């Protein structure tokens, strides 16, 4: 059996005297889509940062494809698009490689995220939803096997959010990219994911795993999603809140 794409075990992660995460296990297979739900402050962003290799001061282990993380690229998308205001849309997408970037790939990604005609626009000329489309394209530019997303759509209106969710699924499918998504939106987690992990309050661990065995495209009004939502909300209400 081959190793999972991502295998995280956090024995303990603490900031000063406060233990934030304790005995957290997270395994994610290639192309799998997992969402993390949990009370505010429970450590979801910290867990994502650990998975991304941005946080190293913890006891435990992160393995990517059974070993070296350098062998597999990870893409990151945050709540704010974090675009460079002085660079165009195209330059922001190829930012990691600067002038040496693959212009054809950048142009292809601009079309894929629905921003045809905006390659030379500056971030200040974009709506919040458009800026987040740029962030998705930039996250995919380096052909990541896994995209890590921390509340990527929480700053946009409900209708834009649904369109961005559909886009994210299309992109994940086309680029064969696994997704690890932090969200506070139970509907979003269930619509997008194969598995939803509900986390406990501090010290946090995975409290419950909900499997969403429904094919895509999913119907948001599917009663099976409603039943899973009820389960997720029960777990969230029971999660210890500080």
Instruction: Give the interface with ligand ATP as residue ranges (CB under 6 A).
Output: 15, 20, 38, 40-46
Q: What phi, psi does 181 have (nearest 5°)?
A: -120, 130
Range in contact with Mg ion (rule: CB under 5 A) among 37-45, 166-174, 187-195, 227-235? 37-45
Binding-site residue total for Mg ion (CB under 5 A)? 1
Which CB atom, from 45 or from 72, has the smaller least distance to Mg ion? 45
Pick 20 or 135: Cβ nearer ligand ATP: 20
Sheet holding 206-211, edge to edge: 74-77, 146-150, 178-182, 33-37, 195-199, 206-211
Task: Give 38 or 123: the residue with its C-beta nearer to ligand ATP.
Answer: 38
Judged by CB under 5 A, the stretch of 39-47, 169-177, 190-198, 215-223 that binds Mg ion is 39-47
Could you tell me the smallest distance in angstroms from the CB atom of residue 62 to ligand ATP? 16
What 3 state SS string does 132-180 have?
HHHHHHHHHHCCCCEEEEECCCCCCCHHHHHHHHHHHHHHHHHCCCEEE
Torsion 156-157-158-160 (CA) sign: negative
State which of residues 19, 45, 72, 154 lies at the interface with Mg ion (CB under 5 A).
45
Residue with Cβ nearer ligand ATP (43 or 123): 43
- 72 lines the binding site for Mg ion (CB under 5 A): no
Q: How far is the CB of 237 from ligand ATP (least distance, A)?
A: 16
Helix (H) / strand (E) containing 15: strand 6-15
- Cα→Cα distances 184→98, 126, 160, 199, 232, Å: 34, 25, 16, 11, 11
Residue 40 touches which of Mg ion, ligand ATP, none (Cβ within 5-8 Å per kind) = ligand ATP
Q: How far is the CB of 9 from ligand ATP (least distance, A)?
A: 17
Cα–Cα distance for residue pair 38/70, rounded to 1 Å: 29
- Of 41 and 60, which has the nearer Cβ to ligand ATP? 41
Indicate the residue whose CB is closest to Mg ion: 45
62, 132 Cβ separation under 8 angstroms: no
Tokens of 85: 């205001």
Give the binding site for Mg ion (CB under 5 A).
45
């Amino acid at each position: 059996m081959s190793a999972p794409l991502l295998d995280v075990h956090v024995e303990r992660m603490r900031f000063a005297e406060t233990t934030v995460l304790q005995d957290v296990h997270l395994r994610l297979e290639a192309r799998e889509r997992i969402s993390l739900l949990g009370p505010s402050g429970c450590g979801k962003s910290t867990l994502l940062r650990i998975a991304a290799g941005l946080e190293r001061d913890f006891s435990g282990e992160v393995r990517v494809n059974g070993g070296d993380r350098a062998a597999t690229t990870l893409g990151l998308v945050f709540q704010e698009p974090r675009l460079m205001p002085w660079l165009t849309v195209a330059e922001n997408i190829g930012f990691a490689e600067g002038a040496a970037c693959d212009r054809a790939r950048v142009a292809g990604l601009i079309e894929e995220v629905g921003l045809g005609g905006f390659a030379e626009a500056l971030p200040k000329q974009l709506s919040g939803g458009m800026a987040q489309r740029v962030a998705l394209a930039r996250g995919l530019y380096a052909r990541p096997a896994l995209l890590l997303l921390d509340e990527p759509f929480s700053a946009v209106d409900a209708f834009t959010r649904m369109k961005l969710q559909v886009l994210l699924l299309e992109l994940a499918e086309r680029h064969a990219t696994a997704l690890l998504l932090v969200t506070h939106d139970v509907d979003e987690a269930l619509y997008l994911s194969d598995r939803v992990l509900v986390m406990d309050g501090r010290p946090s661990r995975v409290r419950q795993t909900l499997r969403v065995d429904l094919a895509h495209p999913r119907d948001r009004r599917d009663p099976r999603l409603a039943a899973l939502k009820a389960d997720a909300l029960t777990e969230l209400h029971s999660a210890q809140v500080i």
